[in-house]
Amino acid sequence: MSIYNVNRLYDKKQAINLRLTIKNMLSHNDYNIIVKELKKVTGIKEIAPYNNSKILSISYWPSRLIFENIYYTIGILGYRIDAPKAKLNINNNNVKGG
């Protein structure tokens, strides 16, 4: 078996779980619209069933798909992904000498 085939077999076993909070996914109908479009994207392993408004759980293979494509597909439909805001620790004290 070639190295290429070994890598492909290994990649099929390694999936990443992504949990997204979508601000304006308020109903089961919104969930169905998003899932219908995401199923057209290659590299998505599975999409968890609808159980909570605004939460979407996706498993995908990173060797076949980058997560920006998932963000783009959801965004093109008009839905907003609520990304956690990074907290910046900025020290305003001027420290001399390095």
Query: pLDDT tens across 64-92, in order?
Result: 888 899 999 999 999 998 876 545 444 55
CA atoms within 13 A on the CB side of 17: 4
C-beta separation of 35 from 20 below 8 A: no
- pLDDT (mean) for 27-43: 94
Give the C-alpha separation, 24 to 68, whole Å: 19
Enumerate domains of the chain plus CATH numbers.
Answer: 11-76 (3.30.70.100)
Whether pLDDT at 33 is above 90:
yes
Q: Is the dihedral of CA 6, 17, 20, 60 positive or negative?
A: positive
